[in-house]
Amino acid sequence: MLIPRPMKCVWQAAGLCLVLFATVAAPAGESWADPEFLSAADCDCCPDWQRYAIFDVLFLQRDNATNGAVIALQDVGGQLQPLFTTQSLQAATAPGVRLFYGELGPDDIGWEVGYVGVYGMFGSADRTGPDNLSVPGNLGQTVTGWSSADEIRPTYASSLNMAEFNLFTYCCETECPEETILWSHLNCGRSCVCTNWLFGLRWAGLDEQADLNVRCCDGDPFTAYSVRTSSQFIGPQVGVRSRRQWDNWAIEGWAKAMLAGTILSSSADPITSSLAPGVIFRESRNLSRGGVGFIGDLNLSLVRRLTETWWLRAGYNLIWLSGAALAPDQWDFTDTPTSGTTLVGGGGLFLHGANLGIEARW
């Protein structure tokens, strides 16, 4: 016989209370039917909320998993030495936000929708030297002034946006040590443990720009080799989330994995020189192709109750994304008719750092 969820929950809670009642004697002068005594048993169903909303501020550090190619040289005693590589552009800690809203529905099925954004991931380097800096490869020899520059300043900026919709099953139960003495008001560390299995759809967009800025001579403007890339991910994801909640504390964590189809694109501006006005040394490039990517998402948070509805959250995050087109990997320092016409994919992005925020459960 199918038992409706509310009745099933009530019967399970009542059964637990009856077992506890049967294992101890009622205190002297008390009756099992005494309303005040029964209220102390606290037979409420677990969990004590049906909806939740989460707002986290993120502080994430990203690795620089670019290809490590040399992007600038310096003349040291008549010998050209590597000055910068793509991995010299290490980003500082970047801010972000996470927003989620979800509901528990009938038949142990719930749903949620969420957004994660990480902004301001920016790294740069800068070096000045009188006529002893150069851009590598034949490109540096071809562009007027790039083989004897006074200053080279590469920069690297990126942002990540992700949205997801999940359906999940939920299984919640109350745990309480067997040695509890009933008439001690059930002060036994009783906890509500909920486990969710998630099945959903996620989209992610990684947008980047890399600029190799070169100033040939004092007082002249910078000219640049500028590349922009976009990596779009979409596909199904699965995951598991668990929450153990006491009266005023909770621990929550999740693990999600997504296998995605990707659309990668890149564009490069024309390359010019301040010493040769009107001359275009390489035309603009626009490329695109498809591929396969992966996203992994881990979080562990400690949560503290502030009021009946509001909680304070603090935790740690790991986010791994692979199969992207990273902007610095697209720099091509050769000088042929096909230079810059290959879109380099397969790049990775690893983020880790803290989250601090609030949540509401009601």
CB-CB contact of 328 with 86 (8 Å): yes
Nearest to 233 by CA among 200, 206, 209, 257: 206
Q: Give the pTM.
A: 0.83
As a whole number of angstroms, the distance between CA 51 and CA 361 comes to: 6
For the chain, give the longest Cα–Cα distance: 102
The tens place of each residue's pLDDT in the chain, 362 residues long, gives 444 443 444 334 333 333 333 333 344 444 333 434 333 334 346 888 999 999 999 999 999 999 999 999 999 988 999 999 999 999 999 999 999 999 999 999 999 999 999 999 999 999 998 889 999 999 999 999 999 999 999 999 999 999 999 999 999 998 865 544 443 444 445 789 999 999 999 999 999 999 999 999 888 999 999 999 999 999 999 999 999 999 899 999 999 999 999 999 999 999 999 999 999 999 999 999 999 999 999 999 999 999 999 999 999 999 999 999 999 999 999 999 999 999 999 999 999 999 999 999 99
CB-CB contact of 230 with 210 (8 Å): no
Contacts by 273-277 with C-beta closer than 8 Å and gap 24+?
A: 273/143, 273/144, 273/145, 273/146, 273/216, 273/223, 274/145, 274/215, 274/216, 274/217, 274/220, 274/221, 274/223, 275/144, 275/145, 275/216, 275/217, 275/220, 276/144
Run of H or E including 202: strand 191-215
CB-CB contact of 71 with 85 (8 Å): yes
Give the number of C-alpha atoms closer than 13 A to the C-alpha of residue 244, restricted to the C-beta side.
Answer: 8
CATH architecture of 49-361: Beta Barrel (2.40)
- For the chain, give every domain's residue range: 1-45, 49-361
Phi, psi of 114 (to 5 degrees): -150, 160
